[in-house]
Every structure is written in structure tokens, then in C-alpha cells.
Amino acid sequence: MLAPTAPIVLLEIEGKRLSRDLTDRLVSFVYEDHETALDLLEVTLADPYLLFIDDPLLQEGNDIRARFGYADNLSPTKLGVIKEIGYDFPESGAPTITIKAYDKGCNLSTEQVLRVWEMPGGIRASDIAITIANEHGLVPVVTPTVDRFPRRHQSKQSDAQFLRALAKIARATTGNGVTGYAFYVEGEELHFHPRGLEKPPVMVLEYFTSRDGILRSFRPQTQTQGAATSGKSTTAVGVDPKAKAPVVTKADDATTPERPVLGKKSVLTEGAPAAPRVIDANTGKRVR
């Protein structure tokens, strides 16, 4: 029986659970979840007896499903397609096999396509997204767009590139609504819909306020300004995603009295919290 703190990795390829006990063979497991790139699943297994080299399951093009975590807290199932297999036969130590799989969005990136999209009455970006999802065997999770075009040209672009370009100009409402959709593939679903900026956050991380929290540590870092006149004010420039207009915010001592972080002096603290040494960052002299 595994200890509650022992990590677990469950692998299933082409609908078949790997029959061998891989606990002692697992060298490393990596899963990377990306917003603008393909999700990556990478597994490295020790293969001292070369049993995996000709295994029909460990072949490119096969679907792989993985769950990982701990006995009482496993991740949702992650789905990918095996695209790379590497072998390492070192001078010392056991040979290893490394499997790299990417989410099913990789199938939308393999071919550069040249075609014209059109339909009677005009075609919408959401119509194109649904068609591409069906062509690749994915379930479309698509919010209808409002704009119709006589035709759209897909000029030597992969389906992923084309949908990403359409997502930038798609909108679900007319007028001053939010322009821009989210496009990504998750599991067996193709998502093409607004980002949902009005929704509450899916997770709030708090440090040391509850023993039930999942945030165990964090490392804030600040950098003091070296110039004698620095530290008086700060300006941030951004874009309002809803109004699509630039936003400039300036803060200084007068506008932020409740947060006196922009004082006349920049200081460094050293030593234990109970008896800190405060040093003027501009002069290097100890204040107290």
C-alpha cells in the first residue's frame, strides 16, 4: 500500500491500462499546461531489460491518458497524443525510454491548409470553429459570433493558426462588447468562446490563514531604486480589455497615504524580524 504522501502516476494508452507496475520504473514525469502553446506530457521510464522498445502501446500516434498526484488527491485526466519517443543507452546505469505527448490540438497544427470558407448568408468565425472541431473528431464548445463575412480565406495556415487569428477579432455581441475569443483544446474539446472576464476567479491562494489551504510558500521580492530622487512615484500603463482603451495609472506619496511604500527614502532591512537593521539604500548608512 502506498503512503499517503507518495506520488502516483496512472497511465493508459489506447484505452488500455499499462499492466506492468511502473512505480519502480518511473524516472521522471512532467506535465506542462500552457495557455498559448500545446500542453506537454513527458514520461521517462527505466528499461533495464529493453521490454518497452517493441511495446505496441508505446508508439507514436497513440492516445495517452494520465492522472497524477496523491492517493487522496489525483488530478483530472490529461489526454494527449504520443508524438516523440526517445531512447537513452548510457555508459553506466539502466537504459531509459522517454515519451513525449501533446494535447490533441497538435493535430490542428500538422498541415498548412489553403481553402476559402463561405456559406449562403455569410459565414461566422464560430461556424468555422465548429466545422474544424468536427473534422478533427473534437467536441466543439463554441459560443456563436455575431459578425458574418461573405468569405474567409485560410491562406497556407494550419487550422490552429487560422482559429487563433479568428479568435482575436471574434465577438459575441455588437457595440462596445469585448472583442476577442479564447481558443484552445482541452481533452477532447475544442473551445472557442469569450474569455469570461466577468466570472469570479477559479482559485484564490492565501498564505498561512488556513491549514486547509494549498499554498505552502511564496517568495516576494522587492528592488529598491538606487538614485537619490527615485522612489517618489510610479506609473503603470495598460489596456482595459473591455473598453479597448489605454489606461494610465500614477501613484505617489500624495495619492497613496494609506500605503506609504513610495517614501522619500528607500531602505533595506537586515537581520532577524525582532531586531532588524535598517539601512538607507541611497547612502548605505545604517538608520537604526
What pLDDT does residue 202 have? 78
Give 127: exposed, middle or buried? Use CB within 10 Å, 0-12, 13-18, 19+: middle
**SS3 of residue 225 by DSSP:** coil
- Please, what is the Cα angle at 129 between 125 and 131, to 5 degrees? 115
What pLDDT does residue 96 have? 94
Length of the chain: 288
What distances in angstroms separate CA 149 from CA 25, 83, 124, 145, one per listed residue? 55, 36, 6, 11
* Rounded CA separation 34/220 (Å): 24
Nearby residues of 5 by Cβ (< 8 Å), 6 or more positions away = 70
pTM of the model: 0.64
What pLDDT does residue 263 have? 46
Number of Cβ within 10 Å of residue 241's Cβ equals 12
What pLDDT does residue 176 have? 64
* Rounded CA separation 286/277 (Å): 7
Would you give per-residue pLDDT tens digits along the chain (288 residues)?
Answer: 555 567 788 889 988 887 555 667 889 999 998 877 889 999 999 999 888 888 888 899 999 999 888 878 888 899 999 999 999 999 988 999 999 999 988 889 888 989 999 999 999 999 999 999 999 999 999 999 999 999 999 988 999 999 999 999 998 887 666 678 999 998 899 999 998 777 888 777 776 666 666 777 777 776 655 444 455 677 777 777 777 777 787 777 666 655 544 444 455 555 555 555 655 655 556 656
CATH code of the region 8-102 = 2.40.10.10
Q: Name the one residue in this structure whose C-alpha cell is 490542428.
A: 108
What pLDDT does residue 285 have? 65
* Residue 178 amino acid letter: V
What pLDDT does residue 4 have? 59
What pLDDT does residue 227 have? 47
* Rounded CA separation 130/46 (Å): 42
Q: Name the one residue in this structure whose C-alpha cell is 495557455.
A: 35
Q: What are phi and psi of 81, to 5 degrees?
A: -120, 130
CA 69 to centroid of chain Cα atoms = 18
